[in-house]
Amino acid sequence: MIEARGLTKRYAGKLAVDGLTFAVRPGVVTGFLGPNGAGKSTTMRMIIGLDAPTSGSVTVNGKPYRAHTAPLREVGALLEARSIHPGRSAYNHLLALARTSGIRRSRVDDVIEAVGLGGAARRRAGKFSLGMGQRLGIATALLGDPRTVILDEPLNGLDTEGIRWVRSLLQELAAEGRTVFVSSHLMNEMALTAQHLIVIGKGRLIADTTMVQFLTTRGRSVVRVRTTHPDALAARLRGPDVEVSFASGEALTVAGLTTDQIGVIAGTAGITLLELAAQQASLEEAFMELTRDAVEYRANTVGANR
Amino acid sequence: MTAIPAYTGEQRVTQLRVLASEWTKLRSLPSTVWSLLTTLVLVVGFGIIYSMVRVARPPADRSTFDAMGVSLSGVQLAQFAIGVLGVLLMTGEYATGSIRVSLAAVPKRLELLWGKAVTFGLTTLVLCVPAALVAFVAGQSVLSAENLDIGLGEPGVARAVLGSALFLVAVGLLGLGLGGLLRNTAGGIAALFGLLFAPQILVGFLPESVSDHAYKYVPAAAGQAVMYLEPDPQYSLPPWIGLGVFCLYTAVALALAAWQLRRRDA
């Protein structure tokens, strides 16, 4: 359980995190979303006491992180994968970490095996690929068998097999009753993994809701229509709450009408439909829609929001 | 792929465990091990070489020949190796980002600093006492060819040998403190060299009446007082007092590092 109350961080006059209040509950995977620069990493750093809040507070399992006598038992964190001295082997990195808490050597071997680094554990970490670095970071986070797991962009650099492994690992950890808090910019992956979402933008809380609710209330379902007479159909479909746009070929993208309604309108007008398909709102679209005004860094592309 | 097995062992963080962790870090980094070996080679090797040079060119006035200083001349070079290593032990963690992992594991941050200082200090001590002794014995045996040698039992000799090893420990910890204070390798090394070289130059600008007195207290002069058999009271503090003054500089650097570590975001 992670609880933030009015959590605020100001760097050199700029508010990186602005009055965040939220709770991350055990038993589900909670996704932490926000555009670049929204304050996700800063928030995670404050949770484990690396940065001190300017005001407000955050507790883990009921106490500030620094007040825990067995911190690795409470929280396992992966913040930025390359948090290891490149000259040290993965094994010694984990062993040094284990020693701080009296964790046995056999546990180090266990986590190395579990993340699939067995063959590379004795090699210098500086020679690791990005994916291997991520696996080591996840091993680091799981070393103390923590009740709360915090992972900042754990999927970066992982291959398809690795991504699927992390997905099932996160769900397993949550199913064991742990608190799992994970940030990622891979929306489709997050949609598959997380059951709860916390969305921030420009340091402020934008949404704190379940994935299902987020998609149904924020997502905009559209219908894709292909027809022999797109212009004629578009003219008939347009209305106060209906938005029609031209996609590639003869296809139209229609928002605000169901497939049934469109089929009936086309039939009445005698227009031949070649394709009529409802398109599920994606987390990515819902996220883009929600954070449009809260994007800190955006490519200056004219007409990007088609 | 297996799931993560459970772990039920007790896992409280204690200062002793942090020491064990820092020892693992120290010995598992090849660059650190090489730096320590370099320090030892400088202490012993340079002492022997310089002794050989002096045997080849014996002094005209034997009464002022400093057999002690010649055999321990390697300490003058080794102090930079050990000081730079001290800086790197702290700044290396910041440069690589491993400080985040370290402080997440040891959230009571001062335990981490003390753990590093004690581990590094003890390691340096255990290596440098024998190194200084070997440098002395080997150097004197070289010097004995020209009957320039002195014995270990003579007054002040044992103190100078032990003191030079302690001086190296203090320089290493000074580097550690500066590294922790500045969190930047270039800055830490510059500050270390600045402290070891600059004060004696600045003191030279003072009026003569104060400069001789002030000179005794600059880090380099104070720290090396312990290595002279008979320090000249006009230019040098008494041996142990001098080393004590140097240790004060080290203590200040470590205290500033502790203050910064607690106060600043990691």
DSSP states of A8-22 = EEEETTEEEEEEEEE
The phi and psi torsions of A165 (rounded to 5 degrees) equal -65, -45
* Domain contains A296: no
pLDDT tens, residue by residue, A236-256: 998 888 888 887 777 888 888
| Interface touch B28/A92, C-beta < 8 Å | yes
Q: What is the pLDDT of residue A188?
A: 80
Residue A105 forms part of a structural domain:
yes
Closest Cα in chain B to A90 = B28
One domain, residues A100 and A134: yes
Whether residue A305 lies inside any domain: the answer is: no
Q: Do residue A81 and residue A135 come from a single domain? A: yes
The distance of A47 to chain B (nearest Cα, Å) reads 10
Residue A189's pLDDT is 85
Alpha-carbon span A122 to A268, nearest angstrom: 72
Q: How far B234 CA sits from the closest chain A CA (Å)? A: 48
Bridging pattern class, strands A251-255 and A55-60: unpaired
Taking the mean position of all CA atoms in its chain, how far away is CA B89? 13
Is A115 among the domain residues? yes
Report whether pLDDT(A40) > 60. yes
Collapsing DSSP states into helix, strand and coil, what is residue A218?
helix
Report, as an integer, the average pLDDT of A145-152.
96
Cα distances from A144 to residues A75, A92, A107, in angstroms, run: 8, 16, 8
Helices B109-143, B74-96: axis angle to 10 degrees equals 160
Beta strands in chain A (DSSP E): 2-11, 14-24, 29-33, 55-60, 75-78, 148-152, 179-183, 196-201, 204-210, 222-227, 243-246, 251-255, 273-279
Residue B206 lies in a domain: yes
Nearest CA among A24, A16, A20 for reference residue A6: A20
- Tokens 């290396």 sit on residue: B92
Residues in chain B with pLDDT < 50?
Answer: 1-2
Number of compact structural domains in chain A: 2
- pLDDT at residue A296, as a whole number: 59
pTM of the full structure: 0.88
A39 lies in the same domain as A176: yes
- For B60, residues 6+ apart whose C-beta sits below 8 A from its C-beta are none
pLDDT per residue as tens digits for the range A5-17: 999 999 988 899 9
Q: Does residue B9 form part of some domain? A: no
Interface residue B35 vs chain A (CB under 8 A): no
pLDDT at A303: 41
Domain boundary among A186, A217, A248: A217
Domain-terminating residue out of A217, A238, A257: A217
Q: What is the pLDDT of residues A260-292, one digit of tens each?
A: 999 999 999 999 999 998 876 778 777 877 777
Model confidence at A294, pLDDT cuts 50, 70, 90, reads low
On whether any CB of chain A is under 8 Å from the CB of B33, the answer is no
**Angstroms from A114 CA to nearest CA on chain B:** 5
Give me the pLDDT at residue B3, please: 62
Question: Rounded distance, CA B28 to CA A85, Å?
Answer: 10
- Is residue A245 one of the residues assigned to a domain? yes
Q: Give yes or no: residues A76 and A9 share one domain.
A: yes
Cβ <8 Å between B265 and A144: no
pLDDT score of B175? 98
Side chain identity, residue B48: I
Contact assessment for residue A279 and residue A296, using Cβ atoms and an 8 Å cutoff: no
- Let me know if residue B4 belongs to a domain: no
A242 and A126 housed in the same domain: no
**pLDDT class for A299, splitting at 50, 70, 90?**
low
In a domain, B10, yes or no: no
Is residue A298 scored above 70 in pLDDT? no
CATH number at residue A60: 3.40.50.300
Please tell me the predicted confidence (pLDDT) of residue A301. 47
* pLDDT higher at A305 or A30: A30
ipTM: 0.93
A48 touches chain B (CB under 8 A): yes
B16 versus A305: the higher-pLDDT residue is B16
Strands A55-60 and A2-11 come out as antiparallel
B5 within a domain of the structure (yes/no):
no
A84 and A36, same domain (yes or no):
yes
CB A237 within 8 A of CB A244: yes
How far is Cα of residue A130 from the mean position of the Cα atoms in its chain? 19
Q: Domain for residue A73, yes or no?
A: yes
- Which residues 49-68 of chain A have a CB within 8 Å of chain B? 49-52, 65-66, 68
Chain B contact present for A25, CB below 8 A: no
Give dist(CA B162, CA B125) in Å, integer.
9
How many domains are contained in chain B?
1
Chain B positions touching A50 (Cβ under 8 A) are 100, 103-104, 265-266
The answer to whether the Cβ–Cβ distance between A92 and B104 falls below 8 Å is no
> Which chain A residue lies closest to B89 (C-alpha atoms)?
A85
Question: How far is B1 from chain A, CA to nearest CA, in Å?
Answer: 7
Q: Residue A304: pLDDT above 60?
A: no
Are A183 and A87 within one domain? Answer: yes
| pLDDT above 80 for A302 | no
* CATH number for the domain that contains residue A238: 3.30.70
Domain that holds residue B171: 15-263
Statement to judge: residues A125 and A61 lie in one domain: yes
Identify whether A295 is part of a domain: no
By the CB < 8 Å criterion, does A281 face chain B? no
Give me the pLDDT at residue B1, please.
41
- Establish if A292 belongs to a structural domain: no
Domain with A235, as residue range(s), is 221-280
* Residue B219 covered by a domain: yes
CA distance A293 to chain B (A): 30
Q: Is the pLDDT of residue A151 over 90?
A: yes
Average pLDDT value over all residues in chain A: 89
Same domain, A174 and A227: no
Residue B3 domain-assigned? Answer: no
